[in-house]
Amino acid sequence: MPTVLWFRRDLRLHDHPALAAAARDDGEVLACFVVDPRLEASSGRRRLQFLGDSLRRLRDDLDGRLLVTRGRPETRISRIAEEIGASSVHVSEDFAPYGVRRDERVRAALGSVPLVATGSPYLVSPGRVVKKDGSPYRVFTPFLREWREVGWPAPATSGAAVARWLDPARLRTARCEIPDPGAALDVAAGEAAARRQWKAFVHNGLHRYSHDRDRPGVAGTSRMSAHLKFGSIHPRTLAADLDPRGAGAQAFLRELAFRDFYADVLHHWPASAWRNWNEHFDGIQTDAGPEAERRFAAWKAGLTGFPFVDAGMRQLRETGFMHNRVRMIVASFLVKDLHLPWQWGAAWFLDQLVDGDMANNQHGWQWCAGSGTDAAPYFRIFNPITQGERFDPSGDYIRRWVPELRSADDAHLRKGERPQGYPAPIVDHGAERAEALRRYQSI
Cα dist. 93→7, 9, 18, 90 in Å?
11, 9, 9, 9
The answer to whether 78 is annotated as binding is no
**Is 221 known to sit in a ligand binding site?**
yes
Determine the Cα–Cα distance for residues 357 and 374; give it in Å rounded to an integer.
19
- What φ, ψ does residue 33 adopt, rounded to 5°? -140, 135
Query: HSE (CB half, 13 Å, CA atoms) of 76?
Result: 20
47 has binding-site annotation: no
* 167 annotated binding-site participant: no
* 262 among annotated binding-site residues: yes
Q: In this structure, are residues 31 and 5 in contact, taking their beta carbons and an 8 Å threshold?
A: yes
Within 10 A of 218 (CB to CB), how many other CB atoms are there?
17
Q: Is 259 annotated as a binding residue?
A: yes
252 is in an annotated binding site: yes
Q: DSSP states of 325-360 as a string? A: HHHHHHHHIIIIIS---HHHHHHHHHHH-TT--HHH
User: How far is Cα 206 from Cα 52, in angstroms, rounded to an integer?
Assistant: 29
- The answer to whether 63 is annotated as binding is no
**Is 209 labelled a binding residue?**
yes
Task: Tell me the torsion sign for CA atoms 352, 323, 11, 103.
Answer: negative
Q: Is 224 annotated as a binding residue?
A: yes
Known binder of ligand: residue 232?
Answer: no
Q: Is 158 annotated as a binding residue?
A: no
φ, ψ of residue 7 in degrees (nearest 5) = -75, 140
Is 33 annotated to bind a ligand? Reply is no
Ligand-binding site membership of 258 (annotated): yes
- CB 140, CB 21: distance < 8 Å: no
Task: State the CB neighbour count (10 A cutoff) for residue 139.
Answer: 10
223 marked as part of a ligand binding site: yes
112 is annotated as contributing to ligand binding: no
Q: Is 358 annotated as a binding residue?
A: no
75 annotated ligand binder: no
Residues annotated as binding site?
209, 221-225, 252, 255-262, 355-357
Residues annotated as binding site for FAD?
209, 221-225, 252, 255-262, 355-357
